[in-house]
Amino acid sequence: MMKVVIVAILALATTLVSAYDPSPLQDFCVAMNNTDSAVFVNGKFCKDPTLVTANDFFFSGLNIPGNTAANKVGSNVTLVNVDKLPGLNTLGISLARLDFAPYGLNPPHTHPRGTELLVVIEGTLLVGFVTSNPNKLFTKVLNKGDVFVFPIGLIHFQFNIGQTNAVAFAGLSSQNPGVITIANAVFGSNPPINPDVLSKAFQLDKNVVEYLQKQF
């Protein structure tokens, strides 16, 4: 019986580990796009180590504020993931700069493949995340130097409640954490979700649903 329990625990641990970015089996695996191969890999193809340079591990530009006027929510996220920094491949980490106009919002969203650790550099942010059912909200007001963590896969948000610009940086536990913005996914999917489905799910008039879909 004890052997069965141990095997079950090891199987569960293996399953949990495989849910995250795999551990590297070498010092590095600089990403490259190889269109000549039809083999799919969970990540990026590795560049020949003899051709790797310091620039493969380098990114410049996070000192530059993002354009918060380019969208209706007044925020901008500059993500440095494996597509921007090839040296991140297989290392299980990425970085983002978040800029907020006064009362700017990074709307409710989720990262399906990464936990997020946020630190406020300037300004005051109202942040929070919602658990899986029964959907408990954990929220906090953050000031300069404060840190908050958003667990992997949970819906979360950041809102600038100050009258000045705000800046934050976030580390994510995946080279490619992904992002699903809830409103965009629900009302702006392509092709669109049947309005009858959304009308019943949100208890809204069908005309309201169709109006919201047009906004996205």
Binding residues: 106, 109, 111, 116, 156
Supply the DSSP string of 63-112, one letter for each residue: TSPP-TTSSTT-EEEEEE-TTT-GGGTTS--EEEEEEE-TT-EEEEEE-T
Q: Which residues are annotated as a binding site for Mn(2+)?
A: 109, 111, 116, 156
Cα dihedral angle (193, 194, 200, 203), rounded to 10 degrees? 60
Task: For residue 191, say if its preceding peptide bond is cis, omega within 30 degrees of 0.
Answer: yes
* DSSP letter, residue 178: -
Q: Are 160 and 124 in contact (CB under 8 A)?
A: yes
Name the nearest CA neighbour of 105 among 181, 177, 171, 179.
Answer: 181
Residue 211 CA to residue 215 CA, distance in Å, equals 7
Q: How far is CA 141 from CA 39, 89, 125, 160, in A?
A: 47, 34, 6, 10
**Three-state SS for 60?**
coil
**Three-state SS for 73?**
coil
Q: Which residues are annotated as a binding site for oxalate?
A: 106, 111, 116
DSSP lists the bridge partners of residue 168 as 98, 120
* Residue 197, both tokens: 């489905």
